[in-house]
Structure 1
Amino acid sequence: MEHPQQISQGSVRWSALSLDDAETFSTLLLTGASGFVGRRLLQALQHAFPQTRIRVAVRCPVSGLSPEVEQVVVGDFNAHTNWAAALSGVDGVMHLAARAHRIGRDVGANHASQCQAVNRDATEGLIRSCVQSGVRKFVLLSTVGVLGRHRDVLRDTDAAAPDDPYSVSKWEAEQCVRAACRGSSTRFVVLRSPLVLGSEAPGNIRLLRTWIHRRLPLPLATVKNRRSFIYIDNLVDALMLALVHGNADNRSFLLTDDLTLSTANLVRALAGGRRFALFPFPSKWIRGGLSYLGKPGQAEQLLGSLEVDGSFFRECLRWTPPVTKEEALLALGGNDKGSKC
């Protein structure tokens, strides 16, 4: 079976392409185009909507983008960002740019203030400018973290309970979007994503890959947690479907696909056929050691459970993830070199 990263853009089964009454856009603005998800979304948008002009708002010029993509340099993303040039003639916006979640570093006041500036303040300025410019649709990529991490299963009906600077800033950004769009002609969609899997995924996924490739022994064999994930192409598909589907308007959704794995099984998937050492070790000792090193968040991601119920999005938009669990797991264990995802 081919790995999804290795098949052509035209072979991916994007849901938006089969929607009979899909909304169309003349010019789309994308933020976060240089990020892990943004790069893949930009490629997919160009393939799925060849008649739509794609523009990206960037802090500084980005190399390697298609010459058909227009870049508008807006400088730092904060409350003072001027969005006028980027939004000229735009009727749809997909806002992915964000100060990323940090595990075990940059977790002090400086990180919190940067989260507020980039995730909340810049989003507030952008959505207000969108409303003033007459943008029809605004899609915000958020995080399941806005609902907290201390429930058995997260559901769309749960109240917000963000518990770290990143999640707090994303929750405040969501509120800014709802407030600005209220009573206006601009419609919004908020998509709350769990951890995204792909060959170039950052954070703990990259760290686990490094350990596997170096054949370092991992004390995770008996970790029996359950965590929801979403594969990169499935997240991209959900983003595009939310953009063009009317049933998504003015709603927020939790996202997940069929990837619910323990950390031990995630490591096995990432390893593919590679030989590596996975041995049993008491989870409480791992947690205690990471907490002692000042990394309780990393301990929670490796050892804790976080399941997501994404049925509301599936039912409202009749969404089926285009990449199956089996395909995604095969792709995760494939050769990373040369991957474009």
Structure 2
Amino acid sequence: MKTLLLTGATGFVGSALLTHLCAHTQYEVRVATRSEPAADLAQTFKTFNVGDFSSSPDWGEALAGVDCVVHMAGRAHVMAREKDALSLFRRANTDATLELARHAIEKGVQRFVFISSIGVNGAYTPSTAFDETCPANPHADYAISKFEAEESLKALCDSHAMELVIIRPPLVYAAHAPGNFQRLLKLASTGVPLPFGGVRNSRSMVALENLVDFISLCMVHPRAANELFLVSDGIDISTPDLVRCIGRGMGRRIVMLTIPDPMMRLMASCIGKQNLYTQLCRSLTVNSTKARQLLGWIPPVTTEHALVQAGREYINARSIQS
């Protein structure tokens, strides 16, 4: 039995990966945490409280005998009151990642799987879909820190035996997804008309179930070694169709208003939500052919099924809470 060390295990993707690994792999799973782990986590897995990842923690005991590290812990947001966002992102996402990788090499870890972001490629695709050959064009401080981590990891692993796998997912979605997808679920559940009737975009996304399945494959597949993957469901969808699928899961017909794109842009700018406009109204498509052809990966669920299920689970959870 091989041994895996997972960081970010209490996050949205990390907790789902833990559940998946328990059901589908023969790995002995260890979890590294920043603080004292919850009782249920500590009872189920061997946990190591290493403290703040950004403060040069002692990784020695956690990494002893580990074959593979899956690193998804990091910083995704900076509070408005915090200054120098790029510096904070670099400390958590670049420097801490490189420090962990150095310790992993010292301990003889065979493979390091790093969960990056499609933001490394850019905020949107004007024409052709992103693929692994596209030049990096990180659009925000978070994406810059992820790209710098990728480059540092490649330079480090090039001179050592540890294999590196980099995965750049686009929007990851499920009923309990954070961020803008959660806001979209909430809006759809209210029954108010939504302003997406005139949106003609195309978005690549990856269902949470598909992403954790792909990560687990990259942990073990020989041909994943030292490769970069852009991963998605493989089917692109417009924002109006996305909302309709969510609505079907909720048992509701979503009414959508047709608002001209220039007005949508102006409204988003006036309320300081330009990023939200980009994510909901512009196109961002990913060509994930490499994942399928090189590794033979087949996503377990389709986009339509996963979106309908997300809507259904969201409404059911709301019903239980009320």
TM-score by length of 2: 0.91
In structure 2, relative to structure 1, the CA distance for the partners of 1:286 and 1:107 (3 Å cut) is: farther
Question: Could you report, residue by residue, the CA deviation over 1:211-270 in whole angstroms, capped at 9, with x for unpaired residues?
Answer: 122223311111111010011111011101111001010111111113411111111122
| Cα distance between partner residues in 2 of 1:264 and 1:72 | 44
- Which structure is higher in RCO with an 8 Å CA cutoff and minimum separation 6? 1
Say whether residues 1:100 and 2:46 are aligned partners.
no
In structure 2, relative to structure 1, the CA distance for the partners of 1:324 and 1:275 (3 Å cut) is: closer
| Cα distance between partner residues in 2 of 1:187 and 1:116 | 23
Aligned counterpart, 2:45: 69
Aligned counterpart, 1:8: none
| Cα distance between partner residues in 1 of 2:152 and 2:161 | 16
Question: Could you report, residue by residue, the CA deviation over 1:98-129 in whole angstroms, capped at 9, with x for unpaired residues?
Answer: 21157xx7497443222111111110100111
| Cα distance between partner residues in 2 of 1:263 and 1:107 | 32
Of the three residues 226, 229, 239, the one matched with 1:250 is 226
CA offset at residue 292 of structure 1?
A: 2.0
SS in 1 for 2:300: coil
SS in 2 for 1:234: helix
Mapping 1:146-295, distance limit 5 Å = 146-151=120-125, 152=127, 153-272=129-248, 273-295=251-273
| Cα distance between partner residues in 2 of 1:113 and 1:45 | 34
In structure 2, relative to structure 1, the CA distance for the partners of 1:271 and 1:97 (3 Å cut) is: same
| Cα distance between partner residues in 1 of 2:276 and 2:236 | 18
Matched AA of 1:291: S
Aligned counterpart, 2:99: 125
Q: Which runs of 4+ in 1 moved over 6 A?
A: none
Matched AA of 1:53: E
| Cα distance between partner residues in 1 of 2:84 and 2:182 | 24
In structure 2, relative to structure 1, the CA distance for the partners of 1:107 and 1:141 (3 Å cut) is: farther
Question: Could you report, residue by residue, the CA deviation over 1:138-158 in whole angstroms, capped at 9, with x for unpaired residues?
Answer: 101111111113432111111
Of the three residues 293, 297, 304, the one matched with 1:315 is 293
CA offset at residue 325 of structure 1?
A: 3.1
In structure 2, relative to structure 1, the CA distance for the partners of 1:297 and 1:106 (3 Å cut) is: farther
| Cα distance between partner residues in 1 of 2:279 and 2:303 | 21
SS in 1 for 2:165: strand
| Cα distance between partner residues in 2 of 1:101 and 1:190 | 21
Give the root-mean-square deviation of aligned CA atoms.
Answer: 2.0
Q: Is the 8 A contact 2:123 2:278 kept in 1?
A: no
Matched AA of 1:120: T
Aligned counterpart, 2:61: 85
Question: Could you report, residue by residue, the CA deviation over 1:179-226 in whole angstroms, capped at 9, with x for unpaired residues?
Answer: 111121211100110101111111110001111222233111111110
Alignment: residue pair count: 312
Say whether residues 1:134 and 2:112 are aligned partners.
no
SS in 2 for 1:224: coil
Q: Is the 8 A contact 1:81 1:122 kept in 2?
A: no
More helix by share: 2
CA offset at residue 49 of structure 1?
A: 2.1
| Cα distance between partner residues in 2 of 1:106 and 1:307 | 30
Say whether residues 1:53 and 2:28 are aligned partners.
yes
Say whether residues 1:28 and 2:1 are aligned partners.
no
Mapping 1:316-331, distance limit 5 Å = 316-331=294-309
Unaligned runs of 5+ in 2: none
SS in 1 for 2:299: coil
Q: Is the 8 A contact 1:77 1:117 kept in 2?
A: no
Question: Could you report, residue by residue, the CA deviation over 1:294-316 in whole angstroms, capped at 9, with x for unpaired residues?
Answer: 22111111111000001011111
CA offset at residue 335 of structure 1?
A: 2.6
SS in 2 for 1:307: coil
Matched AA of 1:332: A
| Cα distance between partner residues in 2 of 1:107 and 1:285 | 31
Question: Could you report, residue by residue, the CA deviation over 1:27-54 in whole angstroms, capped at 9, with x for unpaired residues?
Answer: 110001111110110011111224x221
Aligned counterpart, 1:12: none
In structure 2, relative to structure 1, the CA distance for the partners of 1:297 and 1:107 (3 Å cut) is: farther
| Cα distance between partner residues in 2 of 1:312 and 1:225 | 24
